[in-house]
Every structure is written in C-alpha cells, then in structure tokens.
Amino acid sequence: MARRLIETGVSFVEVTLGGWDTHQNNFERVKQLSGTADPAISTLVNDLKSRGLLESTLVILMGEFGRTPKINSRGDKPGRDHYPRAWSTVLLGGGVKGGQVIGKTDKDGANVEGRAVSAIDFMATVCKGLGIDYTKQNTAANGRPVRIVERMRPR
C-alpha cells in the first residue's frame, strides 16, 4: 500500500506498527514485532528500488525514544523501559549515502559516545533528503516567524 501511494505521487506516507512498548515480555514481543516488520520493510525497499523510486523516496525507520539497555525485573516476563538517552534510527533512499553508521553508544548501550546527533540535526538531514530548505522561515497568520527546523540556542 505504501509503495502504491508513493507511485501515485503522495508526498508523505506513514506506516506504523504499534506495540513496541515492551515493558514486559520483551524478548517474545521483539521477536514477534521484528517478524512482522522485517519482511514488510524489505518488501517496501525492494519494491521502491525495482521501480526506480528509492532514490527519490526517503525511508525512515524510528520510534520516539530508545529502550533501556538493562532488562527490568517485572515479574516472570521482564522487559525494557523507556530510554531517551540513546536510540537508533535508520535512513535509506532519498539520496542518503548507504552503509554509514553515525554515532555510537558505549559497550553497554547506555551512553552516547562519539558523534551524537541532535533532534535538530536529524530534522535538518530529513529536510535535506526531501529537498526542503531547512533554513527557511515561514510566517504564521499572526505574523510570528516559524522556522522549518529551529536553530540550536546558545548555551
């Protein structure tokens, strides 16, 4: 369905797979969810590539935060809790150079080491991949300036 929407010119398509909150039963849930997500993602990417659409389509795989590197102790089915300090995002197609790993965590997956990517940098990268000038400023109806991507404020 996502590929067909892209073929017809829809400029933004969101595909979701809910249920990634694995506070309990983490291992079985991640196995089930991955078993659903992996073939769907693979099919979408292969379909886009075979039709010459992958280079003009930015595919983003992400959630809104990471999961704790340590397993919690919730009963007989332990899980992972919310973890906003480190998580992974995948970008492909849309002119993004493949095979890159940007940033990393320590050996425990608890702290970002190396190159941390801010939300602002991430959004600027997405805009660039979509051909949007992320430095542009729009004006709201009340005259208030609204940037496409906010600038970092000096500390």
Give tens-digit pLDDT for 104-129.
999 999 999 988 888 898 999 898 88
pLDDT band for position 153 (cuts 50, 70, 90) = low
pLDDT band for position 60 (cuts 50, 70, 90) = very high
Dist. CA 41–CA 58, nearest whole Å: 13
Check whether 19 has a pLDDT greater than 50. Answer: yes
Return the H-helix or E-strand segment holding 60: strand 58-61
Check whether 154 has a pLDDT greater than 60. Answer: no
DSSP string computed for 82-146? EETT----EEEETTPPSS----EE-TTSSSEES----HHHHHHHHHHHTT--TT-EEE-TTS-EE
Least confident of 82-86, 116-120, 128-132: 128-132
Check whether 155 has a pLDDT greater than 60. Answer: no
Query: Domain residues of the chain, as ranges?
Result: 2-112, 118-155
Per-residue pLDDT, 152: 58
Dist. CA 62–CA 51, nearest whole Å: 24
Dist. CA 70–CA 24, nearest whole Å: 13
End-to-end CA distance of the chain: 45
What's this model's pTM, rounded to 2 decimal places?
A: 0.85
Per-residue pLDDT, 114: 83
Mean pLDDT along residues 89-107: 91
**Hunting for tokens 């983003």 — which residue is that?**
60
